[in-house]
Structure formats: C-alpha cells, structure tokens
Amino acid sequence: MDNHTVTSADLNDHTKKNQTDAGLEANSTFVPVDPFEIVVFGGTGDLARRKLIPSLYHRFCDGQIPKQSRIIGASRSVLNRDEYLSLIKEAYLEFAGHENFVESKWKSFCELIDYAAVDVTKSSDWGSLGDKLDATETLIRVFYLAMPPALFSDICQGLATAGLAHDKSRVVLEKPLGRDYKSADEINEAVGRVFSEKRIYRIDHFLGKETVQNLLVLRFGNVLLEPLWDRDSIEHIEITVAEDIGAGGRGAYYDKSGALRDMVQNHLLQLLCLTMMEPPGSTHADDLRLEKIKVLRALAPINSSNVKEKTVRGQYVKGKVGGQAVPDYLTDVDIEESGAETYVVINAEVNNWRWSGVPIYMRTGKRMRARRSEIIIQFKPVPHSIFGPSIKVNPNKLVIRLQPDEAVNLWMEIKEPGAGGLRLKSLPLNLSYADNFTVRYPDAYERLLMDVVRGNLSLFMRRDEVEAAWLWCDGILQAWDEVEQNVSYYPAGSDGPEESNRMLERQGDTWSESS
Ligand code: BG6
C-alpha cells in the first residue's frame, strides 16, 4: 500500500471500536503499526508529560503499539530510568486522570520506556543516546523534537554527526517553527541537511483533532455543500478559536510570541485552508497540501496601508471567567509591561475566483468568556422574499463546532405551526457528536504519532506551506510595527475588545453570537 495514502481504514481507525466501549481495553480492530523506537527530546517537558507519553500509552492499551517498540525520553536532567518512570506516571495521573489508568497495563507499557540524559549542545552526550537505540537498525526510528525551535538545528546536526539518523528515521518538529519567515527558512535548511523532506513531520496538532479532520469529510463526502460553497452563496465566514485559559505558566515563550504567532500562523490558517481549499484529487499528502498552499498564497496581503482596518489586537485585563476572578495578563506572566496580544481578529480575504469579496473573520483569544472553537458559514439571504416586508427571513447558517460540544448545525427557516398568521422560525438540523457517537475521542497527538510511524504525511505541513503562512503573517507583524498598532484591552471573561465588533460593523456584519 502507498504509505502516503489515508485509507478509509485509517480514517476509521478510532471509530471501529465497539461503540458501547468507551474505555481503553485492547481491541483487535485497531491496526497495529510496525515496531518503532521514538526518542522524545524534551522528554521531561510539559508537552511530553501532558500529551505525548499519555497518547502513546493510550495507543499501547488499544494494542496499536507492538511490544518490541521503545520509547526513550531524552532531556538534560540527570535522571535514572526509575526516576523517569515515576515522573511520567505522576504526570499521567495529574493531566490524563485515573479514568483510563490501569496499573497492570501501565506496567507493561513501562517495559517499552527508557531514559537518556542528553545535553544536545554537548557532543559527548550523543553516545549514551546511541547506546539505547536499536543496533540492528531494523526498527522505524522517530526523533520527536519537543524543544524550542532554536535547538532544532543543533539536534539534527548532533544526530547526523553521531550517525543516529539512518534511512528509516524521521523527525517530528513541534510548533512554533521559527518566529518569522526568515527563522523558519533557516530551521528548514538546517533540518533539511540531515532529513529529506519526506522524513520531516511538521506538526500542527489541530489537524489531529477529530472534528478538524471531519471538515474534509463534511465538505468532500457530501454533494450538498459544494454547489453553495462560494462567493455567490456565502456572505462571510467566521473562524473562532476562543480559550478560557490565560497565558500563565508559559509567559517567557508567550510574551515573545503573542496570539498571531502562537495560534494564527498555524492553527487558524490551517482551519482556513481546510474550509476554503479546492477539492483535492485524493487524501494523498501532496494532493492535500498543494491545495492548502494555493489558499495561503492567495491570501490578500495585509500591510501598513490596511492593517488598522483589517486587524484588532487585544490584551486581557483582570475579570471573571466562569464566575472566578482572574488576574490580568501582566500578572499572569509576571512582567511589568508588555505589548503582546492575547487576542487578535483579522479580516482576511482569499483572492481567487471562488472567494473574491467574501470576508473571512478569524479570531482567537485567551481568557475569553468560554472555550469555543467553531467555523461559521454565513449564507446570503434569499434573493427575494415572497412573504412580504413584514416577515423576517433569516439567512441560513452552517455552524461547525470543533470543540467542545462537537457538532454540525445547519440553521434553516421553517414555518412555526399554529394559527394567527405566518411566522418563520430559525432552527438547526443538529448533528451532535455526543448524540451519535459514544467512542472516546482520541487526543490529537494519538492519531498524529501513529501517522508518523506509518509514514503518512497527509496531516503534516510541507516546508512551503509553513513558509507561505509565515510570509502572510510577517506582513501583519511588520505593519503593526510600522503603524505602531497597540493592543486594546478587554476584561477577562468577555468576548474581546469592543473594536472587534466595530471592525465587522464597518463591513455591515456582526459576529454570529451577537446576531
Ligand atoms: C497551542 C498553543 O499550540 O495550542 C496554546 O501554543 C493553545 O497557546 C493550544 O492553548 C490550544 O490547543 P487545544 O488543543 O487545547 O485547543
């Protein structure tokens, strides 16, 4: 089988389980991957403890990871294997909880795990890592770089010099991939000297989410939407990724980054691409990625002449989220002064025949009223109302709720039953995940890690894709500097700064929740 092709078996991998069994018992319907070894650089870090190790454990419990596989945590901390095992167990119970933890399973999982203390800037440390790897070089070898991107180059160079990168190895690059086009290009060059493009897996964990993958199925598995999917029928598109959490705990990174680099350059632009791209010929990695790149390249540039009208930057001040008082951004990240945006809204446009003139409002923010990620397709009104001027006919709306309460709602107009004149009501055709599926939704990393082992690049970024996204974002970052566009403040627990509403009003639109 072509290992770049997502088969329907792959897409169903997680849903083939007995639908009444929401647990993690081994189930023969999961297709095991080939035996592999994975080295997690940053093995004691946040991502490894919260996401990567728990994801591997869940795949192991489902019988997808063969027992000959090995998982090697690598970091600077001098720990022995037992100390590492207790560190990851403690983290699992803290972050993933007790629900799926089975002591005997965890014990068998731990047999796969080892630890290597490696300072990636010291050439003397690479030998000890090499000793832990499969000397026969028959296992698929994955290097996962859950480290700051400034170290990617050193790590790849170290791997090459120590002779650890063989022809079955692949490298996974965590975001952020640089902080602008130039730094991303430098990193890509350095990594590319050691790994060929088809061995580089640039991760965007949003693509591992069930509901994000469902965008492909919704758009290309149904005949109904495509004829309406263009400038003739669609009035505007809203893409929202709102979080209720703050930036506390990762201030050192976040304050240098801000919402544009942290969320828009990757997650939001990926959602935009999947929503706006032309139908690809197949789910083959290059078919998919090529269509996404075309969208990124067609984004109308934002520069100093239009940035004030097309973007709003915000930063949260103290307020209440879910009834709980929370501090302002500066207190959260423990600094005295900062111009970093924790909220951004962008009025984007894709300049091509299908989309010309359709506003796309992309927004993301921390400490918003609630955690909510969704895509809203606002359709145009009917061209002529036969019901006369006194009866309001609301335009149709498709709401794709990505998280939480995953659902697809198509809002339609219907006649309200009863005597006493004609009344119209907007009601949704509701396709709720909770009502239809009882399977556990795997964490995005579970799917993506298995795809790396399977050699399936479809859900990973190609070099030119990341770079096209940076080029567009660089225009905005540079324009913000040039026109000195500062942040507007919004209370934690709100929907963002008032300016964001005004931006839509200028176009004659309103955010969906306020209409
Ligand atoms: C990360 C960002 O990539 O995505 C974080 O760095 C953000 O700032 C996170 O909180 C959101 O991911 P999820 O899966 O929790 O929606």
> Measured between alpha carbons, how far is 158 from 456 in angstroms, rounded to an integer?
26
Average pLDDT taken over every residue of the chain = 92
- Closest Cα to atom 8, ligand 1: which residue? 262
- Is the pLDDT confidence value at 445 over 90? yes
Question: 438 pLDDT band (50/70/90 cuts)?
Answer: confident
Cα 224 to ligand 1 centroid, rounded to whole Å = 32
Q: What are residue 176's phi and psi, to 5 degrees?
A: -80, 140
> Measured between alpha carbons, how far is 72 from 40 in angstroms, rounded to an integer?
6
List pLDDT tens digits, range 461-472. 999 999 999 999
> Measured between alpha carbons, how far is 301 from 313 in angstroms, rounded to an integer?
17
Query: Same CATH topology for 32-174 and 207-494?
Result: no
Instruction: Work out the burial of residue 318: count CB atoms within 10 Å of its CB; fewer than 13 is exposed, 13-18 middle, 19 or more buried.
Output: middle
Specify which of 6-15, 79-88, 417-426 reaches the highest per-range mean pLDDT: 79-88
Pocket flag, ligand 1, residue 243 (CB < 6 Å): yes
Is the domain spanning 32-174 CATH 3.40.50.720? The answer is: yes
Q: Which atom of ligand 1 lies closest to the CA of 267?
A: 3
List pLDDT tens digits, range 115-164. 999 998 888 889 889 999 988 889 999 999 999 999 999 999 999 999 99
Question: 420 pLDDT band (50/70/90 cuts)?
Answer: confident
Alpha helix segments (H runs only) across 418-482: 433-436, 444-454, 463-482
pLDDT average, residue stretch 363-370: 97
- Is the pLDDT confidence value at 515 over 80? no
Helix (H) or strand (E) holding 321: strand 319-321
- Is the pLDDT confidence value at 2 over 60? no
Using CA atoms, how far residue 374 sits from 88, 146, 225, 510, in Å, is 33, 27, 18, 16
List pLDDT tens digits, range 70-117. 999 999 999 999 999 999 999 999 998 888 899 999 999 999 999 999
Pocket flag, ligand 1, residue 210 (CB < 6 Å): no
What CATH number should be reported for the domain whose range is 207-494?
3.30.360.10
Pocket flag, ligand 1, residue 262 (CB < 6 Å): yes
What is the per-residue pLDDT for 30? 84
Strands (E) across 183-291 are located at 200-202, 234-242
List pLDDT tens digits, range 478-492. 999 999 999 999 999
What is the per-residue pLDDT for 7? 41
Q: In what order do the strands lie in the sheet with 113-117?
A: 113-117, 70-75, 36-41, 140-145, 169-173, 200-202
Which among 205, 267, 284, 384 is annotated as catalytic? 267
What is the per-residue pLDDT for 169? 95
Its pTM stands at: 0.93
Q: Which atom of ligand 1 lies closest to the CA of 373?
A: 16
- Is the pLDDT confidence value at 13 over 90? no
Catalytic status, residue 205: no
Decide if 497 contacts 490 (C-beta within 8 A): yes
Cα 48 to ligand 1 centroid, rounded to whole Å = 14
- Is the pLDDT confidence value at 1 over 50? no
- Is the pLDDT confidence value at 476 over 50? yes
> Measured between alpha carbons, how far is 294 from 321 in angstroms, rounded to an integer?
39
pLDDT average, residue stretch 384-398: 95
Q: Which atom of ligand 1 lies closest to the CA of 209?
A: 14
Decide if 68 contacts 102 (C-beta within 8 A): no
- Closest Cα to atom 7, ligand 1: which residue? 263
Cα 267 to ligand 1 centroid, rounded to whole Å = 9
Decide if 74 contacts 118 (C-beta within 8 A): yes
Cα 217 to ligand 1 centroid, rounded to whole Å = 24
Q: Which atom of ligand 1 lies closest to the CA of 243?
A: 10
Pocket flag, ligand 1, residue 204 (CB < 6 Å): no
Q: What are residue 227's phi and psi, to 5 degrees?
A: -65, -20
Residue from 169, 167, 161 nearest 141 by CA: 169
Q: What is the percentage of the chain residues whose pLDDT exceeds 70?
A: 94
- Closest Cα to atom 12, ligand 1: which residue? 206
Residue 236 identity? H
Relative to beta strand 372-379, strand 360-365 is unpaired
Each domain of the chain, given as residue ranges in start order, spans 32-174, 207-494
